[in-house]
Amino acid sequence: MTLDQILAAAGLTGASTTPLGGGTYNSVFRVSANEGEFVLKVAPGDQPGLTYERGLMATEALFCTLGSAVAPVPEVVYTDRSGVLLTTFLPGEPLLERSGADRPSIRRQLGTTVRQLHEITGPGFGYPQLGLHPTWTEAFFAMYDAVLADAGRYGVRLPKPDLARHAAAFDEVTRPALVHFDLWDGNVLVDDDGLSGLVDGERAFWGDPVAEFVSLALFGTIEDDPDFLTIYGIELTDAERLRLAAYQAYLYSIMLTERVPRGSTDEAFETLITGALGRALGVLA
């Protein structure tokens, strides 16, 4: 469908669209209509991608539907099976772009909000769009194997950690929590009143809440963020630190692999990711 056909199907009138930057996979537009302001996301169709990127829009719709009940998350207005999602528009700008923001206050607000999201429990473990597993250990090991297989398809050489020797640490996770898994500063919105939104939940899964701490401290460690951790209410155990390192290695492996289908040539960024991956793998060795 064309954009006009999508907006008509959603019941909007007098609508105009403006492309929004920041999307690395889907096409994203701001929509102004008689009915209000919205955000429209359209999947790329047959564009090459990673295994977990199949059916992302349905997962984002699920995240928004569940998350908006407890947190400042966009509400679903319209979605369909073709990879279209129309949501409400949230105020604010990415924290990444707000140099004058009160960061300690924002991180404390995030601690409360993320904890509320993690209280949402799913029917199984893993990516909803790929089928769920009965245990987190099985789900995460399959997720990691999938990205390694993707790397092989794209000619990216990645080290494979021996996760099986740490299986007992993953077995500790018995409740499938809703995990956004992409809460870096570009997806955290703030305005003059503080935290105003969490967006781009397309990479969400049901799993270990500790996995959330990777993107919340991208290329760093969440334990250097007492403002967040104190309000969230957690002191990491040795087993949780080990799992966190595995989730870091998983995300950084994704980031290195996706550079190929997306045509990235930023060597400095590749070096940054590779260094972070090496540090995470060192914890697992």
Digitized pLDDT (tens) for each residue of the chain, 285 residues in all: 789 999 999 999 999 999 987 555 678 999 999 999 999 999 877 677 899 998 899 999 999 999 999 999 999 999 998 889 999 999 999 999 998 899 999 999 999 999 999 999 999 999 999 999 999 999 999 999 999 999 999 999 999 999 999 999 999 999 999 999 999 999 999 999 999 999 999 999 999 999 999 999 999 999 999 999 999 999 999 999 999 999 999 999 999 999 999 899 999 999 999 999 999 999 999
73-102 pLDDT, tens digit each: 999 999 998 889 999 999 999 999 998 899
Nearest CA-CA partner of 229 in 73, 115, 71, 101: 115
Where residue 270 sits, what CATH number does that domain have? Answer: 3.90.1200.10
Where residue 13 sits, what CATH number does that domain have? Answer: 3.30.200.20
Residue at a domain's end among 88, 111, 142 = 88
Question: Are residues 79 and 98 located together in one domain of the fold?
Answer: no
List the beta bridge partners of residue 133: 125
* DSSP at 222: G
Nearest CA-CA partner of 25 in 3, 47, 52, 10: 47
- Residue keyed to tokens 């002191």: 235
Q: How many domains does the chain have?
A: 2
Residue at a domain's end among 38, 60, 88 = 88
Alpha-carbon distance of 233 to 24, in angstroms, equals 32
Question: Are residues 194 and 139 located together in one domain of the fold?
Answer: yes
The pTM assigned to this predicted structure is: 0.95
Residue at a domain's end among 28, 56, 88 = 88
For the record, the structure tokens of 89 come out as 């528009």
For residue 18, the enclosing domain spans 3-88
> Sheet of 84-88: strands edge to edge?
16-19, 27-33, 36-42, 84-88, 76-80
